[in-house]
Amino acid sequence: MTNTYRSIQSLRTRLKTLRTRKKSIGFVPTMGALHEGHLSLLRRSRKENDITVLSIFVNPTQFGPSEDFRRYPRQEKNDERLAINENVDIIFYPTEKTLYPSGYLTYINIDTMTRHLCGASRPEHFRGVSTIVGKLLNIVQPDKMYLGQKDGQQAAIIRKMVHDLNIPVNVRICPTVREPDGLAMSSRNAYLTSQQRSEAPVLNRALKAAREEVRSGIKRAAIIEKLIRKNVNANSSADIQYVTCVDANTMQPVKTLTGRVMIGIAAHFGSTRLIDNITFTA
């Protein structure tokens, strides 16, 4: 039985009852327009907890002024159907006013980790993400929270926030779910024209090729980044925003690929910005 809650108070009352009954709570925060990537997180939560809470909220504070907040897909009915299908216990569907009432002033800012990769071109983005996730964690108080590696920098930042702020939740980062041709599933894929859609898997292919190059002995980040750019430019009309090799924990750029590393990429296909990453031990 899936129940939808829109107010913090009614959700808290329900969760309190469940907690006194010693039910473990798994939490999956999303912006909706659910796809297989989101569903994989819900399934993992179902497997590892008694109760699964899904939140759906297109968070305005993580979008820049010229970004796609207004056109971001909102598909409440379809999302609800998918959630019911996955036996989600609770959907939290708050309004903007509920989470950011007028006069709202408090934000969570995480240093250094937010400067590179997506943070370089989206200066306010991670402040919005960490603030909303911090708020949702305080509201839901889950035992475990499930995030996707698809947003690798986001996952690392949230893990750090949970650690630094002593938030009592276990953060589980789950693998990126991909289309058969390798394109990482994303709610934004729906914006792509058929030509762009056919080109978009180049991001994943270029990252995988780069991993092989690192394994064959090319360890200099500048060279690897150049090879990725060359590959993407030769095989698509994408406009690359960044290709950056970072330490997988700190999200700081590295000069040489050694140990646990992540290579992140963002590129525009027309007006649609896609991101992807690959994490491995070099």
Nearer to ligand AMP, 52 or 225 (CB): 52
Sequence-distant (6+) residues with CB within 8 A of 49 are 23, 24, 25, 26, 142, 143, 144
Distances (CA, A) of 120 to 101, 115, 195: 29, 5, 28
What is the nearest approach in angstroms of ligand AMP to the Cβ of residue 69?
A: 13
Q: Give ∠ CA 156-160-161 in degrees, rounded to 5.
A: 120
Closer to ligand AMP by Cβ: residue 132 or 221 = 132
Answer yes or no: are the C-beta atoms of 110 and 130 closer than 8 Å: yes
Catalytic status, residue 38: yes
Per-residue mark of binding to ligand AMP, 150-169 (x: CB under 6 A): xx------------------
Q: Which is nearer to ligand AMP, 201 or 225 (CB)?
A: 201
| Closest approach of ligand AMP to the CB of residue 61, in Å | 13
**Structure-token pair, residue 203:** 């991001």
- Is 207 a binding residue for ligand AMP by CB under 6 A? The answer is no
Q: Is 272 in the site for ligand AMP (CB under 6 A)?
A: no
Which of 25, 40, 49, 277 is the binder for ligand AMP (CB under 6 A)? 40
Work out whether 31 is an interface residue with ligand AMP (CB under 6 A).
yes
Among 49, 61, 187, 277, binds ligand AMP (CB under 6 A): 187
* Amino acid residing at 84: I
DSSP 167: -
Which one, of 122, 272, 264, 280, lies nearest residue 199 by Cα?
Answer: 272
**Residue 228 sits in the site that holds ligand AMP (CB under 6 A):** no
Q: Shortest approach of ligand AMP to residue 75 CB, angstroms?
A: 11
The C-alpha atoms of residue 119 and residue 135 are separated, in whole angstroms, by 21
Stretch that binds ligand AMP, among 36-44, 63-71, 239-247, 271-279 (CB under 6 A): 36-44
Asked whether position 185 contacts ligand AMP by CB under 6 A, the answer is yes
Q: Which of 26, 37, 94, 201 binds ligand AMP (CB under 6 A)?
A: 37
Cβ atoms of 250 and 112 within 8 Å: the answer is: yes
Compute the C-alpha angle 204/208/209, nearest 5°. 115
Neighbours of 1 (CB within 10 A): 7
The length of the chain in residues reads: 282
Q: Catalytic: which of 35, 38, 116, 268? A: 38
Contacting residues toward ligand AMP, per CB under 6 A: 30-31, 37-38, 40-41, 147-148, 150-151, 174, 176-177, 184-187
